[in-house]
Structure 1
Amino acid sequence: MKFVRWLITISLTLGVLGTMFVAGVAVFFSRDLPDVTTLKDVQLQTPMLVYSRDGKLMSQFGEKRRIPLAIEQVPQQMVDAFLAVEDARFYEHPGIDVIGVARAFVSLVTTGERRQGASTITMQVARNFYLTRDKTFRRKIREILLAWRIEQLLTKDQILELYVNKIPLGYRAHGVGAAAEVYFGKTVDELTLPEIAVIAGLPKAPSVLNPIHSIERATERRNVVLSRMLAVNAITQAQFDEASVAPLQGKYHGPAVEMNAPYVAEMVRQFMVEKYGEEAAYTQGYRVHTTVDSTLQQAAIHAVVQNLLDYDQRHGYRGAIANPWLMGEEDNVTLQMPSPPWDTAQTKKYLKKFKSYQSLSPAMVQEVGEQSATIALKTGQLSSINWDGMKWARAFISDDKQGPAPKTAGEILQPGDVVMVQPAPESGEYLLSQLPEASAALIAMDPKDGAIQALVGGFSFNLSQFNRAFQAKRQMGSNIKPFIYSSAFAQNYTLASLIADAPISHWDASAGVTWRPKNSPNTYDGDTRLRLGLAQSKNVMSVRLLRSVGIEKVRQHLAKFGFPLSDIPPNESLALGSASFTPMEVVNAFSMIANGGYQVKNHLIEEVEDQHGNRIFHHQPLVACPECEKIDEERVSAQEELDALVDEPADLFALCPAYPVDEANRAPHVIPTPNTFLVTQAMNSAIWGGGNWSAGTGWNGTGWRAARALKRHDIAGKTGTTNDAKDAWFSGFQPSIVATSWIGFDDHKRKLGSTKYNNNLNKEQIIGTEFGAKTALPAWIKFMEVALKDIPVQPFTAPDNIVSVRIDRSSGKLSQQIGNNSRFEFFVAGTEPTQYSEPPRTTVDPFTDANADTPVTDDDELF
């Protein structure tokens, strides 16, 4: 009995001491434990997502990829898999699995090594949120204490939800949603049982057990998970048998981007970092909704890319990128005899050095026939280039000179050449290509509120991140003339005003040279109406207009269109477009012509939401509102009438129509609408020309290719080419959309050059000197073909104070003649001519007057 009492005493003493020790340890390590109540409102680091206006994902930014999920969104099989392999008694223990701890302790005592872990899912949550992964007793004790506290604070499902969203699973994927996307390119609800088992097996060692790193180790770990699921009856034997032998593929899947617009995405990133700070922008899960339309954006990318490829190819082929088959190439020794062809593995390894851009990818020429070639692609697959895919490739000599058209494939290619190719439409073969050396930009926006609908800053963001759309200041050339003419209309010039189209020779004493601006082509027509002068881009007329209006008045007028005054040169070269502006500034200015003179501001971001869908930013654009001005006029008129009738005037506010746009959001009306209407008319003639071709009086505007391609009269535009053709532009609009296309070299010294006829190609090829109509307009047309496809024709409507009278084409004076020598013209009321070009007739007898039955020509119609 004494022994029993002694044993009980010792046991109680040890128990008390043990309890005191455990309590002491708990108190000691609890002193600086973090506050677990933060888990109730935890903000998981989630990347920023960028969307188009129609909800397409364009990009995501952030070091960690995470797709937060509610526990209800996680498939039950995935929950079962994690519980089976990580914590089978999760719903039974209080955060610490005593059995698991005992098993790990026994293993440690018997082996001297930490072979088994005892971490529950709750303990892993504690570690992932608050602790390091250091394998120390101190960290383990703190982990246990935190797990106990977490269990008192949260439900089991809340803990499990934190776990599946926080856990690192390799390749920057955090949480099961991101892992499903990274390893399988799927959402969690699309995963198969074998794929679920792969993801559930990753926490043990995500860097080496994933299928991208090792198919073998991932498969082995997957089957361990499936075995555990079978052991706890989470799956049947049949499911195990099928899933354990399923083939596994290892491939990295990027974010599920639905529309690739990297120049737009980078602009968004810069905005968000500036507004919210770098850390918040990348981790708070912001969802940025832009104004970009996915269909228009893809159309803009295609237009710019194809136009650059077309320009580059008509200037000639610059040769292969490399040819490793030439023996001794790496030692700068070239022998005439090529080495034997490489096998598939050698070819694939070598081609990995070369990147793909847009539709272009590297390939290696294997064999060259008479008019064809066999190529090996980056994947090792063999394909071919037929004659139609390479016959364009005459040698590039300079920007102004090309070699003769080739007759055989051997004049272009040789075995071992590494070249860029692009898929041929629908044939399964490839076309020979090359990376363009020129650059380009295209921007489209809504002229009513400045919303950017599409933006492309170059051929490929991977090739160059320089965004030419808003970073490249380039000389405008003749693209500036509509604004010069607008300044003239502000001084009561009209579309019928005559300006001498004659050579200019001006001695510049300060420079010691004579300035002789010339037309292009170098032809002159004498006194010419302003409509024709702008439509045909007469240089000398623009200079004379500038002189007549006055340089400073023109500069101040151009500043109203948003052009920085400091960038507007105070000399006559301004008339020919010596000023340099970005395409963004240019399209913004043209939007004011399109919208009737309202100063809207371009914007890209519509709204920003946090990761819970709460709106935290909403852009309120300035909106062109001509309807508001009409309502203002109606209210003033009605109030004046009422004031005159009654002694105590009533407030008519409630009786008049409501404003469609709040006063604070109305764009300033800085250019009178009649002024912009006259500019639009001249720009419409730049597209459609005028006169009567059957009568021999027809003429083309510089943008006639747009009329032929789009076949609609509600478009207006203006070409632009600088001296030596270093920059080419086309800016134009339809009432609902305005777009600017620019092309040139990043090297300002380099010219766009010229091309000669290629005998291998059809008659539709572009030849001669490059300029706006040939070089920039094609991209604008390709884009507008898509942008205007479903938009009905919207004729340009004359404002209320615009009148139309018949004028003589030669003199611009009034005319009573109905025929090819006259036309109707628009004027601001009060500026129409008062003199006739011929004596006025008081009566017209349709039975005796020869002109009475003259049919109205196309040019007489008021488009």
Structure 2
Amino acid sequence: MAKNTGPRRKSSGPSRRPAKKPLWRRALRASVIWGFALALLGAIFLGTAIFFTERELPDYSALKSSQNGQMIVVRARDGSELVSLGPSYGRWLSYDQIPDIMKEAMVSVEDRRFRDHFGIDPIGLLRAVKVRWDKGSFRQGASTITQQLARNIFLNNSKTFGRKAREAVLALALERKFSKDQILELYLNKVYFGGGAYGIDAASRKFFGHPATELSTAEAAIIAGLVKAPSNYSPTADVQASIDRGQVVLGLMAKNGVISPSEAQDIDLSDVKIAKEKGQNSVRYFTDWALPQLDMLLPETNEPIEVWTTLDPAMQKAATKAIDSNVPKGAQGALVSLDRDGAVLAMVGGTDYVTSNYNRATNALRQPGSAWKLFVYMAALEAGYTPSDRVVDEPVTIDGWSPQNSGRNYAGEIDVRTAFAYSKNTVAAQLGNEVGFGTVASMARRFGITSPINTRPAMVLGTSEVRVIDMTRAFAEVSSGGTSVEPYGITKVTTSDGELLYQHKSVQGQVLVPHYVAAGITDLLQTAVATGTGRAAQIGRPVAGKTGTTSSNKDGWFLGFSSGVTTGVWMGRDDAKPVSGLFGGHAPARAFADYMKVAVAKRPVEQFDTKLQLPEWQLEPDDEYLQGNPDDYYYIDENGNLVQPGSGVRSDDQPRYEDGSFGPGPGPGTPQVPDYGPQPAPPAASDDFLDRATGQDGPDQDPGLRQGRGLGSPQSILPSPRPTATRTPSGNF
């Protein structure tokens, strides 16, 4: 059979193609390729970052010398150290000097795989993620000791992804550049343990009173437990919290084989003796007030500085003792003492700084009671009254308000001096009503009262709350002859090398009231101590001062001055509850006396300038002189400053006194009000100023707010429809 040798015919069916791979296989393949590529890029980027970070890291000696925060040494006026604030580093301990138990305790509680990881602990990170998944929040940290070191030295504590990434890179670089021993040495010498203590030696000295080389197992456990939350577990702040945390550390040490379980149970952390914290006394009230002022006095700096202050150690000790010895049980006390230029000599803000660091001398607002009459009587003196003028102590009602005297008795006709000495409320009410309650508020503003002032009639008895330091300042300004005084506590600031950064400059005080007003109120204040309610404040030399007691004995005050030192004392409860037997003339006055006997012991005795140098308008009271020229009036400008008549003081003028005699001014300096022609009465403030000063929108809102009426004003000679203090002219007036 013949073979068919012709061409073969092609099959007419479809051709076969390679089958496509499943989508999931293709996606997986792409993911692997891209994942590998991205991981390779990430590894390159990370390796590059670690390489350059490692190159930029300081050497070991530079890291040892770096410090966190600013150290401030506060010195008294005699140069002695009052307190050291800010970071304390103790002595640097090498790895071999650090007790093994301290190293093991820290590793056990903060990073038990410290010797095994490369700066980041993947196992710890996975464990933290698992806890996050199980509990719904991060309950465990994953930072290694190396990461913590990187954060402490180079970064802050912000919880952001960027900061954590930089922290990780720095940790990896640190592990490449330094050994594990070096990293642990750096960490133990630089980590923060609270209370300003950086490093285990500073912590050991602060909390236990001895170097870290002498740490016991129990002490090491307490210190190691502080790192997690220094403020919460500090043994000086919460002993029980530190003990509970120390027990946790002991348990972890036993779990890691550092100590045996029986040893962990046998250690009694309550037996550990905690060192008494130094510097936590009344001095801290002063430093808490003074040091924040550095932000305004100095440019921003982190270098160690020394702050030289006005505080006198002996006076501060006497002030603390005076408050502690006299304050009623269950009450608090505060004291501020100023030198004649405003320098704070002593400050006590409470009976125990450790128990309560609230500074009642500078922050607390309390009613001053009758101590407020300082401003009432100065307004009256400025309006034309003299200490010897006659007034009537009798029942009075003003706008429905009827003040009562202590003991509810009335003396009838007495002089102004006696009314002030015995703190007659009815007379103060009449005087305040006559000069205007707004005028009294203006006077208080002039003398540095910064808190809100109400202008209802009862304000004359001290219903507006004030600060102790502000009231003390006002009395210091009276002591200075009626010129302004600015309290200050810092005299200079230097670097630790002695470079001067700031120097306090004394400025001349502004005249607040004419000299005769300051002399007159000093006369009244001296009488209050000599024969009146402030007799307990006598110290064997001239003292001028005023008591203050509020309703139900909630507050007791005494403020006064002698030999250039002005001191204010307040006592009362923080919750403003009544204090049995608390009167300004009792415990506060005795505390004033106890302190002032020490404060002025080395100062010469000074007699007060109380001889009145009256202006012509007060000596020649005819209608022309009383009304005067309105352009010459004293007045208060929009900033609350006293503006005097335009023409200056003439050196050839001889002042005239209340008794009609002539002569030079009784006090230092040129008399404030010379005798040349008719002089207008000192002021009343403008309505706009009073509205701003007292927080009132206008006099219509308060029936007790009236424009003050000095004797040089036409209104002052018109009959008043309201009760006024009745007086009989004395001398030429």
What TM-score does the superposition give when structure 1 sets the normalisation length?
A: 0.48
Specify which of 67, 74, 80 is matched with residue 55 of structure 1: 80
| Counterpart among 303, 306, 310 of residue 291 in structure 1 | 310
Which of 758, 772, 775 aligns to 2:584? It is: 772
Q: 1:207 to 1:486 in 2, by over 3 A?
A: closer
Aligned to 1:44: 67
C-alpha contact 2:432 2:460 (8 A) present in aligned 1: yes
CA distance, structure 1, for counterparts of residue 393 and residue 222 of structure 2:
80
The correspondence for 2:320, drawn from 292, 301, 309, is 301
Whether the 8 Å contact between 1:503 and 1:518 is mirrored in structure 2 is: no
- The one of 323, 332, 337 equivalent to 1:444 is 337
Q: What corresponds to 2:569 in structure 1?
A: 741
Amino acid at match of 1:505: V
- Taking a change above 3 Å as real, the CA distance of residues 43 and 255 of structure 1, as seen in their structure-2 partners, is farther
Report the number of matched residues. Answer: 502
Q: Distance in 2 between matches of 1:254 and 1:180?
A: 12
| Partner SS for 1:580 | coil
Q: Which secondary structure state, in structure 1, belongs to the residue aligned with residue 361 of structure 2?
A: helix
Relative distance call for 1:160 and 1:536 in structure 2 (3 A) is same
Instruction: Work out which of the residue numbers 279, 285, 290 in structure 2 matches 1:257.
Output: 279
Name which of 442, 449, 455 aligns with 1:563.
449
Deviation, 1:453, is 2.3
Structure 1 residue aligned with 2:429 = 543
The alpha-carbon deviation at position 561 of structure 1 amounts to 0.7
Task: Decide whether aligned partners of structure 1 residues 453 and 35 sit closer, same or farther in structure 2, where only a CA change above 3 A counts.
Answer: farther
Q: 1:531 aligns with which of 417, 422, 431?
A: 417
Report if aligned partners of 1:66, 1:177 keep a CA contact under 8 Å in 2.
no
Distance 2:221 2:357 in 1: 39
| Counterpart residue type for residue 686 of structure 1 | A
Q: Deviations over 1:628-686 (max 9, x none)?
A: xxxxxxxxxxxxxxxxxxxxxxxxxxxxxxxxxxxxx2222222334222222221121
Q: CA deviation at 1:260?
A: 4.5
CA contact (8 A) 2:285 2:347 kept: yes
Q: How does 1:642-657 map to 2 (within 5 A)?
A: none
Correspondence list, 1:19-34, <5 A: 29-33=50-54
1:829, CA displacement in angstroms?
A: 4.6
Q: 3-state DSSP class of the match of 1:586?
A: helix
Alignment of 1:594-633 (within 5 A): 594-609=479-494, 614-616=499-501, 618=502, 620=504, 623=506
**Structure 2 equivalent of residue 66 of structure 1:** 88
Give me the whole-angstrom Cα distance separating, in 1, the residues matched to 2:190 and 2:482.
Answer: 53
- Residue aligned with 1:459, SS: coil
Q: Which residue of 2 aligns with 1:670?
A: 512
* Matches of 1:479 and 1:85, distance apart in 2: 62
Q: Deviations over 1:355-400 (max 9, x none)?
A: xxxxxxxxxxxxxxxxxxxxxxxxxxxxxxxxxxxxxxxxxxxxxx
Q: Of residues 463, 476, 494 in structure 1, which corresponds to 2:368?
A: 476
- 1:720 positional shift: 1.2
Matched, 1:727 2:555: yes
Among 371, 391, 405, the alignment partner of 1:500 is: 391
* CA deviation profile, 1:496-528 (whole Å, cap 9, x unmatched): 2x23233133263xxxx4x33233244433332
Distance 1:127 1:543 in 2: 65
Residues 781-834 of structure 1 deviation map (CA, whole Å, 9 limit, x = unaligned) = 23223323333322225689589xxxxxxxxxxxxxxxxxxxxxxxx9535146
Normalised by the size of structure 2, how large is the TM-score? 0.55
The 5 A counterparts of 1:401-480 are 436=330, 438-449=331-342, 451-480=343-372
- The aligned residue for residue 684 of structure 1 is 526
Q: Alpha carbons of 1:124 and 1:589: their partners in 2 closer, same or farther (altered >3 Å)?
A: closer
For structure 1, which runs of at least 5 residues remain unmatched after alignment? 1-22, 87-102, 106-121, 149-155, 221-248, 313-435, 624-664, 689-699, 755-769, 804-827, 836-863
1:730 CA drift (Å): 0.8
In 1: Cα distance, 2:396 partner to 2:427 partner: 13
Residue in structure 1 matched with residue 37 of structure 2 by the alignment? none
* Aligned residue identity for 2:604: P
- Displacement of 1:719 after TM fit? 0.7
Counterpart residue identity of residue 684, structure 1: Q
Q: Does the residue aligned with 1:746 lie in a helix, a strand or coil?
A: coil
Quick one: which amino acid aligns to residue 580 of structure 1? E
Flag the structure with higher strand content: 1
Partner of 1:182: 206
Q: Read off the aligned partner of 1:453 and give its amino acid letter.
A: L
* Equivalent-residue separation in structure 2 for 1:128 and 1:610 (angstroms): 25
State the secondary structure of the residue aligned to 2:574. coil
What letter is aligned with 2:338? M
Matched, 1:706 2:537: yes
Kindly indicate whether the alpha-carbon contact (under 8 Å) linking 1:555 and 1:568 is maintained by their aligned counterparts in 2.
yes
Contact 2:425 2:461 in 1 (8 A): yes
| 1:784 corresponds to 2:596 | yes
Aligned-residue identity in percent: 26
Aligned partner of 1:488 in structure 2 is: 380
Q: Which has the higher contact order (CA 8 A, sep 6+)?
A: 2
Distance 1:558-1:129 versus aligned 2 partners, 3 A rule: closer
Please give the alpha-carbon distance, in whole angstroms, between the structure 2 residues aligned to 1:672 and 1:783.
Answer: 31
Structure 1 contact 49–285 (Cα < 8 Å) conserved: yes
Closer/same/farther in 2, CA of residues 180 and 774 from structure 1, 3 Å limit? same
How far is the alpha carbon of 1:129 from its aligned partner?
3.9
C-alpha contact 2:46 2:169 (8 A) present in aligned 1: no
Contact 2:338 2:565 (C-alpha < 8 Å) held by counterparts:
yes
Of 29-38 and 528-537, deviating more is 29-38
- Please tell me whether residue 752 in structure 1 is matched to residue 603 in structure 2: no
Task: Give the Å deviation of 1:272.
Answer: 5.9
Kindly indicate whether the alpha-carbon contact (under 8 Å) linking 1:128 and 1:167 is maintained by their aligned counterparts in 2: yes
Deviation at 1:718, TM superposition (A): 0.6
